[in-house]
Amino acid sequence: MITKEIIDHIEGEASIHFDMKDEKVDFATVCFPHFRGMEKILQGKNALDALVITPRVCGICGHAHLMATVRAIEDAYKNAGKAIQLSQKAQNIREFTLVMEIIQNHFKWLYLTIIPELAKLTSSTRLQTPLKGAFASQIATKALAIFAGQWPHSSYMIPGGITSDPTHMELIKAKSFIEELVTFFEKETAGTSLETVLAYESCKDFNKLDSDISELEKNLIALGMQKKGFAYDRFINIGEHSFTNPSKLLQTKGHAVHLKYIDTEDSYSPEEKSYAKNALYNNKYYETGPLSRLMAQRIPLIKNIHRRFQDSAYSRIMARVFEIPYLLKHSLKLLNEIQIDEISCAKVQDISKITASGIGIVEAPRGPLIHKIEIENGIIKEYKIITPTQWNIGSGTKEKPMPAQKAMQTLSKEEALFVFRGFDVCSVCTTH
């Protein structure tokens, strides 16, 4: 019997068609039914217009889209023989605002999606904390806005650097917001210091805590999520950043990544029209996101979790939570390295003189985001976007399911929907 579920508590809207057998998920197809046409809108526009249009693909990760766009345009400059040299200041500020966007997303996902959905499956009365996510998210957004001017939909990154030129006082203010966010994480989320959490080497260490993380971990174990939600146990990171590195992992063994192997295909969706495409690497499906990024960094805690529970729903969720303190510490490092006397933006040639193609890749909250641009005399001839959700949550066939589809198999419908949300779904990005 096939039943349809409209999924809320995600970014945008999706529907899943479950084929049930003995009250367990035998197969599920995922549909993203709302077409938005961003790629079509961009055709024929001045290439710099993309800096204003693409951040509006998503209301959660607009900064990631902006960075992917500016990287694609700068790559086109390079391919046209006009390579741009960014100052370290511009690189750090770009990276900082991206990190803030990832952190605010993770807090929202944890407190507004995962914890409320987990509460439905357990008898815990403690898992009722949505306002915490909103509070933590707004602090991260305030820090981001010091440099970007606004959030979401900022356009402060431009070819050659950034439009902001922060003062010492603004750097101090940004650091104070991060310190406030660290205090919130320590008191509310972790129940212990940032450094203590970062020093953990075993998932058993969470048992010492009396906090939101320990309650989350305890309930995930109680539901058996360490034994459920398995995908292919292979991962991919593509974006180059100071907090992770491009790599392909088969379980724990790392390999180099080559962009020529990245492709997309139409999704399999016989029950309903879907405007999403599936992303593949060398004709195989890979999982992306925090678990993948932290595996690539060989973080001791994540290595321990993966050794014990592989790519289970537990591993996926706990890795996304752990990326919060990891990035909080990294964000302070980025701020401390900024030299305000460096230039914010280098001079570049008029875009109308550029005829070339370029690619920009960024690790967004949910994984690799790829923008491809083809420019002719400064005008966009073609624009293509591949989003993280296309890697994790496209819709393959029963014989070749995508990671999220595979992870939902053999579970009850309620468990499957929880596992599905554990991938941190973004519909609006996927139907660009």
Give me the domains of the chain, ranges plus CATH numbers: 2-430 (1.10.645.10)
Return the pLDDT at 152: 84
Q: How far apart are the first and last CA of the chain?
A: 32
Structure tokens belonging to residue 336: 């401390």
62, 352 in Cβ contact below 8 A? Answer: no
Residue type, 206: F
Residue type, 377: N
Nearest-CA neighbor of 188 among 115, 109, 133? 133
Return the pLDDT at 39: 93
Return the pLDDT at 339: 96
Return the pLDDT at 129: 75
Residues β-bridged to residue 234: 250
Return the pLDDT at 9: 61
For every one of its 432 residues, what pLDDT tens digit does the chain have, with 9 covering 90 and above?
A: 677 766 666 666 788 999 999 999 999 999 988 887 899 999 999 999 999 999 998 878 889 999 999 999 999 999 999 999 999 999 999 999 999 999 999 999 999 999 988 988 987 767 667 789 999 999 999 999 999 998 888 999 999 999 999 999 999 999 999 999 999 999 999 999 999 999 999 988 988 888 999 999 999 999 999 999 999 999 999 999 999 989 999 988 889 999 999 999 999 999 888 888 999 999 999 999 999 999 999 999 999 999 999 999 999 999 999 999 999 999 999 999 999 999 999 999 999 999 999 999 999 999 999 999 999 999 999 999 999 999 999 899 999 999 999 999 999 999 999 999 999 888 777 767
CA distances (Å), origin 288, targets 215, 322, 421: 26, 16, 14
The pairing of strands 367-376 and 157-158 is unpaired
| pTM of the shown model | 0.95
Structure tokens belonging to residue 90: 């511009």
Q: Which residue has the tokens 């990035």?
A: 327
Return the pLDDT at 8: 63
Return the pLDDT at 252: 87
331, 167 in Cβ contact below 8 A? Answer: no
Half-sphere exposure of 22 (CA within 13 A, CB side): 3
